[in-house]
Amino acid sequence: MRILVVDDETYIRELMVEILSHIGYKKVDTAKDGADAWKRLHEINYCLVITDHKMPRLTGLELIARMRAEGLSQPVILISGAMPTDELNRSPDLRVDATLLKPLSVPELATTIGHLLHTPDNRVIGNENRLSQAEEPATALMRGQKHPHRVLVVDDDQDSRQFQVKLLTSAGYHVEAVNDGVAGWEALRSHDYDLVITDNHMPKMTGLEMIEKLHFSRKTIPVIMATGNLPTDELDRKPWLRPEATLQKPFAGRDLLETISNVLDSYGGNKDHKETPLPKFF
């Protein structure tokens, strides 16, 4: 899948390419404004266009209008610091598939792209107590990592699960995902994992309750708790349940990858996944 990024700021273009690469989209071209993008659209077939609005020579909306007038039907994400709401309302035929307001977060961008490009076969299964298998970790094999680390993601938010599975698979990990603590505990009883990433507030069983079951089962699996509200009081009362690392939602993809790398290093080494953090917002 090839993506075209259109923005008149060099820094944003370069950052977008880096971010898209790290969440699994390796074929990304850039254009410095709408006119440059219009030329590229006649040379290459893109599956998605991500464009700024206010640009010299040709704005984002003008670019989209030309695309639709010529029958180019690629999905478009319009990104802007000042969204042209009135113009969009007056021109529904532009068919802008998604809009994102600057500054935007990396998870927000990844989730939006996922909704537009992923087929049902690529999505994480969200049904109760279903274990979802991500795509084969081809990236890991290309890097020469013969035995990629096996990671279990436990999160009741579908967008968050999809984001983590896509990010970690593209980084070379073997990823499985479930939608609550009960399903997570069943997976931990049935399979071996090198790492667990879990939310806390979930139906049926919280992340901390799952960690407690893991603790009493004497399974030594490192845990990263990625949640919006860390259960500080409970962890103070039961410090033996404290996870190896915590992440505050929303978090950037590179923050997650760096945390995973550090945790796995402390459990026997993981030199294949060292990354420099991307900014959380851009």
d(CA 40, CA 29): 9
d(CA 246, CA 252): 13
Q: Is the model's pLDDT at 105 over the cut of 70?
A: yes
Query: pLDDT tens, 12-57?
Result: 888 889 888 888 888 999 999 999 999 999 999 999 999 999 998 8
Bigger pLDDT: 69 vs 24 = 69
Q: Is the model's pLDDT at 276 over the cut of 60?
A: no
How does residue 90 score in pLDDT terms, banded at 50, 70 and 90? confident
CATH of span 2-117:
3.40.50.2300
Instruction: Calculate the dihedral angle through the C-alpha atoms of 237, 243, 245, 247, rounding to the nearest 10 degrees.
Output: -70
Q: Is the model's pLDDT at 273 over the cut of 80?
A: no
SS3 content of the chain, % helix, strand, coil (to 5): 40, 20, 40
Residue 171: what pLDDT? Answer: 78
Q: Is the model's pLDDT at 124 over the cut of 70?
A: no
Mean pLDDT across 243-264: 88
Domain ranges in the chain with CATH number 3.40.50.2300: 2-117, 124-273
Query: pLDDT tens, 136-186?
Result: 333 333 333 445 789 999 999 888 888 888 888 877 889 999 999 999 999
Element holding 36 (H helix, E strand): helix 34-41
pTM beyond 0.95:
no
Instruction: Give the other-Cβ count within 10 Å of 170's Cβ.
Output: 23
Under CATH, to which class is 124-273 assigned? alpha beta
